[in-house]
Amino acid sequence: MIKATVYVTIKQSVLDPQGVAVQGALHSMGFQEVDSVRIGKYLEINLDTDNREEAEAKVTEMCEKLLANTVVEQYRFELEG
């Protein structure tokens, strides 16, 4: 069993409206020291394989095809186990 941890984030050059909204909410709650907020997705995927190379190829394919919209998002992942 291999555990993949995937991070999908909006590219730096793309506006993150959810982050801007959370930043505004934090400011209005008195957290004036918040300079910027960016929000992404965090996925834990358990894979029923012990072959690391296969797992890496499969997770890359999942990210490209479903998990990330590579036009505006970037992804990275780590494998464990």
Contact footprint for a copy of itself (CB under 8 A): 1, 7-9, 19, 22, 25-26, 29, 31-49, 55, 58, 61-62, 65-67
CA 71 to chain centre: 14
C-alpha dihedral, 48 to 52 to 54 to 57, nearest 10°: 110
Nearer CB in complex with a copy of itself: 35/80: 35
CB of 19 vs a copy of itself, minimal distance in Å = 8
Q: State which amino acid sits at residue 33.
A: E
CB of 71 vs a copy of itself, minimal distance in Å = 19
Longest dimension (CA), the chain: 49
